[in-house]
Structure 1
Amino acid sequence: MMEMSALEQRLTELEMRMAFQEQALMEMSDALAASRMEATRNAELLRRALDDMKQSRGEFFADPDNEPPPPHY
């Protein structure tokens, strides 16, 4: 009977460890999902910023062929 108690204790301990591991896996999965969502948002923000920079650069550095000649010509 003493062996059965030790066996039950080991089984209970293993079940508790498994439950903690399952909880840890769920937390890591949630963290990974949140990280991926944040990375997607950051990539979109970067893309928009680069598009804005390209557009602004186009406004600052207009095509010289479309510019009127300087007044001294």
Structure 2
Amino acid sequence: MTDSTDHRHEERIAHLERDLSDLSEQVARQQAEIGTLTRRLGLLLDREAERESEGGGGVLLADRPPPHY
């Protein structure tokens, strides 16, 4: 291989390494966000289960007709 070919390969590897690092950081951020959303969903499900067990079921908003009826 010539020097120019070696140089092009080195540049390509450097770009790929940077892309890999960027993607790794993005995956780590998304994993943290998924963890946060999972915890929040758990809290909401617990709250709803508690509300239902206290007899506060009542009429759900989805069961009501829209205000313009």
Q: Same fold (TM over 0.5)?
A: yes
Instruction: Kindly report structure 1 stretches of 4+ aligned residues shifted beyond 3 Å.
Output: none
Between structure 1 and structure 2, the one with the greater Rg is: 1
- Give the count of matched residue pairs: 56
Scaled by the length of structure 1, what TM-score is found?
0.72
- The structure whose residues are more often helix, as a share, is 1
- Aligned CA RMSD, in angstroms, stands at 1.3
Scaled by the length of structure 2, what TM-score is found?
0.76
Q: Tell which has more relative contact order, 1 or 2 (C-alpha 8 A, sep 6+).
A: 2
**How far has the Cα of 1:58 moved from its partner?**
1.5
Alignment identity in percent?
Answer: 21
Structure 2, gaps ≥5 residues long: 57-69
